[in-house]
């Protein structure tokens, strides 16, 4: 079994990951965290794009489960000598890992690698494709805060066109029964989604999830002046006032303060779930690794 997309998971598996994630979340708050569930297994993290949250949380998750973790140094690998992704996958497979986590700038790359591997492959983000474990940890964070996801009005706002996080969240949160409202600049909305005004999306929302403007993936510059994006499309205190009084703020990170969100809102201890998302990421990724390697430790 691989975890390449939200569609890779059945409803029962989603429920199991969220339940187990909640259990590991409490476990991780204990003084000592030395589970041996994956004792003797080896997990490879192969990240072809930069990462802080996803890379480190997968490494911490695997180690807390007792696995050996190898972080592939892509910048020092034979990729830099011209080796293809497929040949790299064959090489890694010959080393007999028990799980591989891959992030790659090309959409579909994890699937290409999975077809050549004898172990479970987890998509840690592929181009503008998907980021399934981010959606799972976001759903777990929402459930931790509200007790449920079904029926919540959730606004996802920003650069939806280039956001693999948004693609996975749209799939998962709709499956879980959320009422989604999607908004962003017209040029940063996918062709199959109508542009929506952010003020309309935030109005009455119980969760507001902001997305980073991924300028590195754009073929044309937005041409916005300093502060213009925040004023027109970002989350400000005045805009958040349109949401429900108990509305929570989310962001997958990294944050561009003063662009998609005001810094004070990102740090608001009563409203912001951004740091909780990071903490939940370790727990949910522990649940994912445990599920995918279950046959290897049986």
Question: Domain with 175 in it: what CATH number?
Answer: 3.40.50.1370
Do both 70 and 57 map to the same domain? yes
Residue 172: domain span: 132-274
Residues 6+ apart with CB under 8 A from 194: none
Can you give the pLDDT at residue 298?
61
Report pLDDT digits (tens) over 56-115.
Answer: 999 999 999 999 999 998 888 888 888 899 999 999 999 999 999 999 999 999 999 999
Tell me whether residue 1 is in a domain: no
Dist CA 87 CA 9 (whole Å): 28
Do both 144 and 120 map to the same domain? no
Q: How many domains is the chain partitioned into structurally?
A: 2
Q: What confidence tier does 226 reach under pLDDT thresholds 50, 70, 90?
A: low
pLDDT exceeds 80 at position 220: no
Report pLDDT digits (tens) over 185-199.
Answer: 888 888 887 767 899
Can you give the pLDDT at residue 216?
67
Residue at token pair 């990462």: 51
Tell me whether residue 64 is in a domain: yes
Among 19, 88, 9, 29, residue whose Cα is nearest residue 279 = 29
pLDDT exceeds 60 at position 218: no
Can you give the pLDDT at residue 195?
67
Can you give the pLDDT at residue 115?
97
Taking only Cα atoms into account, the Rg of the chain, rounded to an integer number of angstroms, comes to 19
Query: What letter does residue 209 receive in the DSSP assignment?
Result: E
How far are the Cα atoms of 1, 200, 275 from residue 253, in angstroms, in the given order? Answer: 28, 24, 10
- Around Cβ 147, how many Cβ atoms within 10 Å? 7
When comparing pLDDT for 241 and 227, which is higher? 241
Do both 57 and 123 map to the same domain? yes
In angstroms, the first-to-last Cα distance of the chain is 15
Do both 184 and 104 map to the same domain? no
Residues 6+ apart with CB under 8 A from 35: 27, 64, 65, 66
Tell me whether residue 142 is in a domain: yes
Do both 106 and 138 map to the same domain? no
pLDDT exceeds 80 at position 127: yes
- Around Cβ 215, how many Cβ atoms within 10 Å? 12
Q: What confidence tier does 200 reach under pLDDT thresholds 50, 70, 90?
A: very high
pLDDT exceeds 80 at position 37: yes
Q: What confidence tier does 214 reach under pLDDT thresholds 50, 70, 90?
A: confident
- 79-88, 173-182, 254-263: range with lowest mean pLDDT: 79-88
pLDDT exceeds 80 at position 238: yes
128 neighbors 163 (Cβ within 8 angstroms)? yes
Among 77, 125, 83, residue whose Cα is nearest residue 101 = 125
Residues 6+ apart with CB under 8 A from 286: 20, 21, 24, 28, 61, 64, 65
Do both 66 and 188 map to the same domain? no
Do both 142 and 252 map to the same domain? yes
Angle between helical axes of 164-175 and 132-146 (0-180°, round to 10): 50
* Torsion angle (degrees, nearest 10) of CA 194, 195, 196, 197: -170
């Amino acid at each position: 079994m691989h975890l390449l997309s939200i569609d890779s998971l059945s409803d029962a598996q989603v429920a199991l990951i969220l339940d187990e994630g909640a259990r590991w979340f409490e476990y991780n708050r204990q003084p000592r965290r030395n589970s041996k569930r994956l004792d003797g297994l080896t997990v490879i993290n192969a990240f072809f794009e930069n990462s802080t949250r996803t890379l480190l949380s997968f490494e911490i998750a695997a180690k807390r489960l007792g696995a050996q973790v190898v972080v592939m140094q892509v910048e020092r690998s034979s990729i830099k000598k011209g080796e293809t992704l497929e040949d790299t996958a064959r090489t890694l497979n010959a080393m007999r890992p028990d799980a591989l986590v891959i992030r790659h700038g090309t959409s579909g790359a994890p699937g290409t690698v999975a077809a050549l591997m004898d172990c479970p492959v987890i998509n840690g983000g592929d181009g503008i494709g998907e980021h399934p474990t981010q959606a799972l940890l976001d759903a777990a964070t929402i459930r931790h805060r509200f007790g449920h996801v079904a029926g919540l009005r959730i606004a996802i706002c920003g650069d939806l066109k280039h956001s693999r996080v948004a693609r996975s969240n749209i799939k998962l949160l709709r499956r879980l029964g959320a009422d989604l409202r999607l908004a962003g600049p017209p040029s940063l909305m996918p062709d199959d989604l109508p542009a929506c005004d952010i003020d309309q999306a935030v109005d009455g929302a119980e969760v507001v999830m902001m997305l980073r403007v991924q300028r590195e993936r754009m073929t044309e510059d937005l041409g916005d002046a300093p502060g213009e994006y925040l004023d027109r499309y970002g989350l400000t205190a005045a805009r958040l006032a349109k949401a429900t009084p108990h509305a929570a703020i989310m962001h997958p990170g990294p944050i561009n303060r003063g662009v998609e969100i005001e810094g004070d809102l990102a740090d608001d201890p009563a409203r912001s779930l951004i740091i909780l998302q990071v903490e939940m990421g370790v727990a949910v990724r522990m649940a994912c690794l445990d599920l995918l390697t279950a046959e290897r430790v049986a």
